[in-house]
């Protein structure tokens, strides 16, 4: 009840213009202005204890989902975002990152574009994961059948959406994914992998909280059986709340979600890689969109091609990894959401 009252207060303050003071005072105050909600610390079970409990102990390890294996092993995981068809780019970045974030919410890329990229260089490294536009059964069915090892569902506001993301991603008896054909047969049914017996444990289900409604329902969302991780859509939480990311009210909203994920035994993350270091929630930020490569590979400049891709199949108008849909709105040196002052509603 105390947490719900706090989030209700966040919404009231957005309407009235009340601004909370920074938790730090004086000239040495950090760029991050934290609010009054204290982050919880992991207990002896650590992050993701409930997500780990879902896994059949007979499932072979390491997982063929590299992102899930590294997450379960205690590492922070990062991705490279691909928003248009480019098999050369995909085949290069899959060698250097934990997962590839195929962007189907904010792009015109098709499911078939994604299928063809995955089939160009299957099982190279990074787990292919799709951010979908919704949690509909039809959307998730296409994503899993083409060979995705994870789904990311945006703007999840309640436990019903989270439940659909979890149950349509996995076969019975865990979930209710329909059995059928698809490229997954060619990609993952190979010697050493029994796809049907192991895909439920290799699937990584991530839901995004990006609205104050989602923040208010964070405990219920995080507790949904089969959701592995909850991450903040940093840009849209700023967009929908009207608060910059340095606003203490915004920071309290992020901390509410962090605490909900920890209590539920799931993993927590931020879309923005700026939360990986220098923030009080950095240690708990187990997942980010984009971020540094796991092997130190240097990212190309925005719009540039990776060195190992001398003949790209098609230009990437979104700039590949340089696309900034998520990470930067409301950060120091950037504009606040349109029509909103830097602080206040």
Q: What are phi and psi of 184, to 5 degrees?
A: -55, -30
- Residue 136: name the closest of 149, 148, 153, 150 by CA: 153
Structure tokens at 322: 């340089």
- Residue 96: name the closest of 133, 66, 118, 138 by CA: 66
Contact 83, 114 (CB under 8 A): no
> What's the Cα-to-Cα distance from 236 to each of 16, 118, 186, 247, 331, rounded to whole Å?
21, 29, 37, 14, 13
**How far, in Å, CA of 325 to CA of 321, rounded?**
10
**How far, in Å, CA of 56 to CA of 83, rounded?**
34
Answer yes or no: 279 catalytic: no
- The 3-state DSSP class for residue 216 equals helix
Q: Which of 106, 225, 258, 321 is catalytic?
A: 106
Contact 227, 205 (CB under 8 A): yes
Residues with catalytic roles: 106
């Amino acid at each position: 009840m105390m947490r719900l009252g706090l989030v209700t207060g966040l919404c009231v303050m957005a309407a009235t213009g009340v601004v909370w003071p920074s938790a730090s005072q004086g000239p040495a105050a950090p760029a991050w202005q934290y609010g009054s909600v204290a982050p919880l610390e992991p207990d002896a079970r650590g992050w993701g204890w409930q997500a780990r409990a879902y896994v059949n102990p007979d499932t072979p390890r390491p997982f063929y989902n590299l992102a899930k294996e590294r997450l379960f092993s205690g590492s922070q995981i990062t991705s490279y975002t691909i928003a248009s068809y480019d098999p050369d780019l995909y085949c290069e970045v899959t060698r250097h990152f934990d997962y590839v974030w195929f962007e189907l919410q904010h792009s015109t890329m098709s499911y078939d574009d994604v299928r063809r990229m995955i089939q160009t260089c299957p099982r190279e490294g990074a787990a292919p994961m799709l951010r979908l536009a919704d949690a509909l059964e039809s959307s998730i069915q296409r994503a899993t059948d083409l060979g995705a090892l994870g789904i990311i569902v945006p703007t999840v506001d309640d436990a019903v959406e989270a439940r659909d993301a979890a149950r349509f991603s996995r076969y019975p008896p865990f979930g209710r994914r329909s059995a059928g054909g698809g490229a997954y047969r060619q990609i993952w049914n190979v010697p050493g992998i029994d796809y049907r017996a192991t895909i439920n444990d290799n699937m990584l289900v991530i839901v995004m909280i990006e609205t104050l409604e989602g923040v208010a329902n964070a405990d219920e969302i995080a507790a949904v059986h089969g959701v592995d991780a909850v991450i903040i859509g940093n840009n849209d939480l700023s967009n929908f709340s009207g608060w910059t990311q340095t606003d203490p009210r915004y920071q309290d909203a992020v901390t509410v979600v962090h605490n909900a994920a920890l209590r539920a035994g799931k993993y927590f993350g931020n879309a923005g890689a700026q939360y990986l270091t220098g923030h009080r929630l950095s240690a708990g930020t187990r997942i980010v969109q984009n971020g540094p490569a796991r092997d130190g590979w240097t990212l190309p400049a925005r719009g540039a091609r990776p060195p190992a891709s001398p003949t790209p199949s098609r230009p990437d108008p979104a700039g590949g990894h340089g696309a900034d849909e998520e990470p930067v709105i409301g950060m120091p040196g950037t504009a606040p959401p349109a029509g909103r002052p830097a602080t206040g509603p």
